[in-house]
Structure 1
Amino acid sequence: MTIEDISQDFGKYIAGCRYEDLPPEAIEKAKMGILDLLGVILAAGGTVPAILGVMNVVRQNGGEPRCTVLGFGDRTSPLMAAFANGSMAHCLDFDDVAPDGNHASSSLIPAAIAAAEHRGGVDGKQLITAVAIGQDIFLRLRRSLNHQRLDWLTTTVFGAFSATAAASKALGLSAAQCSNALGIASLGCCGTLEMRFGTGSDLGELYAGFVAKTGVLSAMLAEQGTTGLQRVFEGQAGIMPVYFQNDFNRARAVAGLGSVFGGASMQFKPWPVCGIANTYIYAVLKLIEEHRLGPADIVELRAYVGDFQQRMSYPVEERRRPKMSMDARFSLPFTLGAAAAYGAVRIEHFTQAGLRDPRILAMADRVVPVDDSAFDWTGAMPDAKVEIVTADGRTLEGRGGAETPGNTGNPMEWDHLAQKFAECAAVAPRPLSRETVDSAVAMAQGLESCEDAMDLVRLLG
């Protein structure tokens, strides 16, 4: 007897799920996630040097001009559009994040958009459903693991399948085609945390483009009748035994499938840095505001760091002087140095000029990591503890947790996202007018009423 794989469960779910099945909170987070990511893509296109190389490759290999490249005005093939938009989606590390870490939307939303524009006639409800399904499948796979991983980059490993799920829904595939698409996606399912722990590479910025492209390619091949691995997750050499030593909970992956949607928990970022730094930034900014501290008042800034944060802190001299933007976003000394120097953390702090900013560098030299296993990452992203030693001899303690902007206790709402979108659009390759920004926000808020969801995408192209 053939034993079904969870890809078969997922295939039926993807094909059968309707907009009407989505709870209101999943609908809202999908719409918010779409607007948020479109803005982040625009900002990356206008500020990240590596995107110039991406665009050269896209233009040299464009194919039939069916799909929009955001911010540049180009039209290209669905594969190249997914690659281009996906490559920009995580460049700033400003895309949304799950409460327990990892990025889903930066891969699956570009894939869904490219597939929808290729298909044509996809309305707002269909796009919302595709995004909500993709977010849910990502989180189901991520949360099925029994332990936090510090080897595979689960954002890319599981992102290949969630991007494929979103693209498959946008294309309107059958259950069998969706399952086959997931099996095909295994060939693009890879990536390790060396993209985070290592330095000097552009891949930490660009990886979502590769994943988004895999999602669209897998779905399009399945649409043409290509069959994929039938037991891609649970076969004798499937993803779960090979990548994760079968240390996963199958029941958790499928519990409430079609009725419980994990995307409702997605969080939006207030600062363009690795999400685990947000609680630390908040703790520092709160102390600075409460005690009216200026840079001259700060002698030492101690950050209490668990296992994952230690990788953001050592070697400390190297982390204090990052050479590349993504390395700076992953550096706790640099990000806290920016927060303490300016009382804010902004996109411009991670440009080439920002990396050489003497105010940030001087403050980064005063950031001292203190190892503390109490802040290890074991489930949800850990809270933060910092101490500031002042010039007048005080030691001030600050904490960051659920009340950090964007976190569960202080979520970003539409007004926050509208402001963030406007700030991102202002540094796009072709900065948007206020009228266009307002139109985009209004369209995203009312996306379920759009007869053609790609009107929003083309507005920003």
Structure 2
Amino acid sequence: MPTEPDLVHVFARHAAELSYDALPTVAREAAKKSVLDTLGVILAASGMEPAVRGVVEIVEEGGGKPECSVIGFGGRRPAMMAALANGAMAHCLDYDDQTPWGQHTASSIVPAVFAVAERRGGVSGKDLIAAVAVGQDIFGRLRCNVDWKKDWNLSTVLAVFAATASAGRTMGLSSRQVAHAMGIATMQCSGIMEMVAGRGSDLRGMYAGFSAKGAVLAALMAEKGITGIDRMFEGQYGFMNTYFGGGFDRESMVRDLGRDFLGSGTLYKRWPCVGTAHSHMKAAIDIVTKNDVHPDQIAEIRLHVGDYHELMCQPLQERRSPATLADAKFSLPFLVSIAIARRGMSVSDFTEDGLHDRAVLEIATKISLVNDPTLNWKLELPPGRVEILTHDGRRWSEEGRSVPGNADNPMGWDDICSKFRECATISVTRFADEVVTRVAGLAGRLEELSDATDLVKLLSPPAREA
């Protein structure tokens, strides 16, 4: 018989009892950055990604109690459905923040937390920061210590538990109730990597909506007294054995719990595409800018790829010329080609016209692959390597270092605010400059707010007719 409480109870106590004052400054700041960054990318998605409009229309058609804001589009809907809509927008541009190990959690946590905060009312900025920070920490502890075989999409499979813990903390649930909620969340725990690595599916972009909605549902059910699973993580038929064949490191998961917050290392994106492509993009940009190489001079572009990189490259011809916006953000040859053509990247590169940009597609025809097992993804993905050869015989090779937003080239608060303002300019609803400035200012002093939901209320215009 087990002598220690299951991890579900350990993490639930961590979530329910964590105070804002117990957080180190770096964890507080990371949570605040993730809040503003996530709100910004939701706004950008509302105006840039056609696929999310179907989800928003379903949410609008369902009606229900006007509890929570649908960001960008406006109106108020029941908490679960607002979390679904906002979560679907939070990741669909692949512009949301990420962990140092490559997965995403804020796009599940932040929509869930704001949904239950609006439903409850009176949630302070300090409590919201603590809720986001504890979810980020739980996600990191799970992510770093399971035997992942690249079969499950960890950004939803694990983030639903992180978001549930965050939602429970926001609602003021007891540790026992949070444990029940996390057990209930096993019924919402899903996502296969074929959704990410395959082609043609809009789900790759909107998957965080499902984990955000599932987290809200689980927390609300626990609040009503519905019970979860006592040995949810470590039971004979529990999560760890079912999803990872028992391959997990419990000791590392709980080491320094309450002292070391893994969300402190959150990375914020400057380029709106899959983060595992960024180092190859940076290497290519460095070569063409340092040596002033024009695309017409290039004879061949060699991408050195490990196992996960290759998922983004096969089949090569389709990845050179992706058919959909969702596929474009995961197609390494196409992304490197944009980086070379633009010597950078912005959200405006991902439009229907952008998919057919002749200059980008011509560069993509010059891309070839070099398999390199040393670049295989284990925990942290090694930096990508790119070689460029010119028609006149010159050759350069670079590794992608100092990627904008990475730990060695981080985005500060002013950078996050600039990104937020950029995202707001392409929202489906164009907000006045003073509103955008006010939201960024409120986020910067979130710990001073008596009601943290002032941020999202400002970003939700009056309801449209369903």
Please indicate the TM-score interval, normalised by the length of the shorter structure. Answer: over 0.9
Matched residue pairs, number? 459
> What's 1:193 paired with?
193
Q: Does 1:437 align with 2:436?
A: yes
Contact 2:375 2:381 in 1 (8 A): no
Equivalence for 1:241: 241
Q: What is the alpha-carbon distance in structure 2 between the residues aligned to residue 280 and residue 378 of structure 1?
A: 18
Alignment of 1:104-143 (within 5 A): 104-143=105-144
Deviation of the 1:348 alpha carbon:
2.2
Question: Offset of 1:148 from its aligned partner?
Answer: 4.2
What 5-or-longer segments of structure 1 have no aligned partner? none
Q: Which runs of 4+ in 1 moved over 4 A?
A: none
Q: Amino acid of the residue matched to residue 60 of structure 2?
A: R
The aligned counterpart of 1:283 is 283
Deviations 1:46-103 (A, max 9, x none): 0111111011110112310010010011110000110000000000111111111100
Identity %: 45
Partner of 1:292: 292
- Structure 2 distance, partners of 1:454, 1:305, is 43
| Alignment correspondent of 2:463 | none
Residue 314 of structure 1: CA displacement? 1.1
- Aligned residue identity for 1:33: S
Where do residues 361-440 of structure 1 align in structure 2 (5 Å cutoff)?
361-401=361-401, 403-440=402-439
Quote the residue 2:71 is aligned against.
70
In structure 2, what residue type is equivalent to 1:18?
Answer: S
Structure 1 residue 238: Cα displacement: 0.5
Given that 1:276 and 1:382 are in contact with CA atoms closer than 8 Å, whether structure 2 keeps it comes out as no
1:393 Cα deviation from its structure 2 partner:
1.6
Residue 82 of structure 2: aligned partner: 81
Contact 1:91 1:204 in 2 (8 A): yes
| Conserved? CA contact 2:148–2:244, under 8 Å | no
- The one-letter code sitting in structure 1 at the alignment partner of 2:100 is P
Secondary structure of the residue aligned to 1:144 is coil
> Within the alignment, does 1:216 sit opposite 2:216 as a pair?
yes
User: In structure 1, what is the Cα distance between the partners aligned to 2:298 and 2:82?
Assistant: 47
Distance 1:370 1:312 in 2: 13
Q: Secondary structure at the match of 2:192?
A: coil
Partner of residue 53, structure 1: 54
Aligned amino acid, residue 66 of structure 1: E
For residue 149 of structure 1, report the CA deviation from its aligned partner.
Answer: 2.7
- 8 Å CA contact retained: 2:145, 2:252: yes
**In 2, distance between residues paired with 1:360 and 1:158?**
36
Q: Name the stretch that deviates more: 211-220 or 282-291.
A: 282-291
How far 1:6 sits from its partner (Å)?
0.3
In the TM superposition, what whole-angstrom CA distance separates every residue of 1:284-330 from its partner, at most 9, and x where no partner exists? 11111111122212221111000000110111001111111121111
Separation in 2 of the partners of 1:230 and 1:327?
40
Deviation at 1:166, TM superposition (A): 0.8
1:392 Cα shift?
2.2
Are 1:148 and 1:379, in contact at CA under 8 Å, matched by a contact in 2?
A: no
Answer yes or no: is the 8 Å Cα contact 1:62–1:80 preserved in 2: no
How far apart, in 2, do the equivalents of 1:32 and 1:178 lie? 25
One-letter amino acid matched to 2:284: V
1:447 aligns to what? 446
Which deviates the most, 169-178 or 344-353? 344-353
**Within 2, Cα distance between the matches of 1:60 and 1:5?**
41
Report matched runs for 1:333-372 at 5 Å.
333-372=333-372
Contact 2:144 2:379 in 1 (8 A): no
Q: Please list the CA deviations of residues 136-163 of structure 1 after superposition, one character each: whole Å capped at 9, or x if unmatched.
A: 1111111111x44311111111011011
After TM superposition, give the deviation of residue 2 of structure 1 in Å: 6.1
Q: Look up the match of 2:455.
A: 456
Task: Work out the CA distance in 2 between the residues paired with 1:23 and 1:226.
Answer: 34
SS of equivalent residue, structure 2 residue 144: helix
Equivalent residues in 2 for 1:236-275 (5 A)?
Answer: 236-275=236-275
Q: Which residue number in structure 1 is paired with residue 184 of structure 2?
A: 184
| Cα distance in structure 2, aligned partners of 1:389 and 1:345 | 22
The whole-number CA distance in structure 1 between the counterparts of 2:442 and 2:254 is 33
Inter-partner Cα distance in structure 2 for 1:340 and 1:21: 45
Give me the whole-angstrom Cα distance separating, in 2, the residues matched to 1:321 and 1:288.
21
Contact 1:267 1:406 in 2 (8 A): yes
For residues 452 and 323 of structure 1, the distance between their equivalents in structure 2, rounded to whole angstroms, comes to: 44
